[in-house]
């Protein structure tokens, strides 16, 4: 495995930890959430490799970007990768239920497993796990907390701006 690099980014939803290898993003973690990511001793701090990601995140938070063009590497089980791929197919400003994602990955009875895979998403915001809601339309579990989930959904629905531009 190649050397992993990291940097921190202040954002409207709190500190974000970016993790990558210089070519692709491997992780985007909300450090103010339930499970902040610990920085491993072998990782090296380096801001330069994350310039593109940071610029696109700023545009997103300003309401100026609806898709991300960042190379991603996502390590997980085959099922998790299928779920994460389905998450990337949820259009900006829209939400779907865990059950709908289960159907999209060909396992209609696996809504709970989708929830677990959603919770293991290593690249929040860019892989939009915040767009998945309960079957009854309620906001349910989110690693970054429901307040952040609500803010991201309101941003995408044009109800709020997270950055002053």
DSSP characters over 87-132:
HHTSPTT--EEHHHHHHHTT-TT-HHHHHHHHHT-SBTTTS-GGGE
Q: CA 95, CA 20: separation in Å to the nearest integer?
A: 28
Give yes or no: residues 95 and 152 share one domain: yes
Residue span of the structural domain in which 34 resides: 5-61
Give yes or no: residues 13 and 53 share one domain: yes
Q: CA 147, CA 6: separation in Å to the nearest integer?
A: 26
Q: CA 95, CA 108: separation in Å to the nearest integer?
A: 17
Q: For residue 69, is it within any domain?
A: no
Give yes or no: residues 34 and 91 share one domain: no
Q: Domain containing 86 — which CATH number?
A: 1.10.10.10
Q: For residue 40, is it within any domain?
A: yes
CA neighbours closer than 13 Å in the CB half-sphere of residue 149: 20
Q: CA 148, CA 53: separation in Å to the nearest integer?
A: 19
The one catalytic residue in 129, 132, 152, 155 is: 129
pLDDT tens profile 29-88: 999 877 789 999 999 999 999 999 999 999 999 989 999 999 999 999 999 999 999 999
Residue 129 annotated in active site: yes
Q: For residue 68, is it within any domain?
A: no
pLDDT tens profile 64-75: 999 999 999 999
Domain count of the fold of the chain: 2
Detail the DSSP E strand segments found in the chain. 5-9, 16-20, 25-30, 44-45, 96-97, 132-133
Give yes or no: residues 143 and 84 share one domain: yes
Residue 141 has pLDDT above 80, yes or no: no
């Amino acid at each position: 495995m190649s050397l992993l690099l990291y940097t921190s980014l202040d954002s409207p939803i709190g500190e974000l930890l970016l993790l990558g290898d210089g070519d692709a993003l491997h992780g985007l973690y909300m450090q103010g959430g339930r499970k902040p990511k610990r920085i491993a001793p072998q990782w090296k701090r380096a801001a330069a490799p994350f310039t593109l990601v940071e610029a696109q995140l700023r545009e997103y938070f300003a309401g100026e970007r609806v898709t991300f063009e960042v190379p991603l590497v996502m390590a997980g089980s085959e099922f998790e990768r299928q779920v994460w791929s389905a998450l990337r197919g949820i259009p900006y400003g829209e939400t779907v239920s865990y059950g709908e994602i289960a159907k999209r990955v060909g396992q209609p009875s696996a809504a709970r497993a989708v929830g677990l895979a959603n919770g293991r998403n290593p690249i929040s915001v860019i892989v939009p796990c915040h767009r998945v809601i309960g079957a009854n339309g309620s906001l349910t579990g989110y690693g970054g907390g429901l307040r952040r989930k609500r803010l991201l959904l309101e941003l995408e629905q044009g109800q709020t701006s997270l950055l002053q531009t």
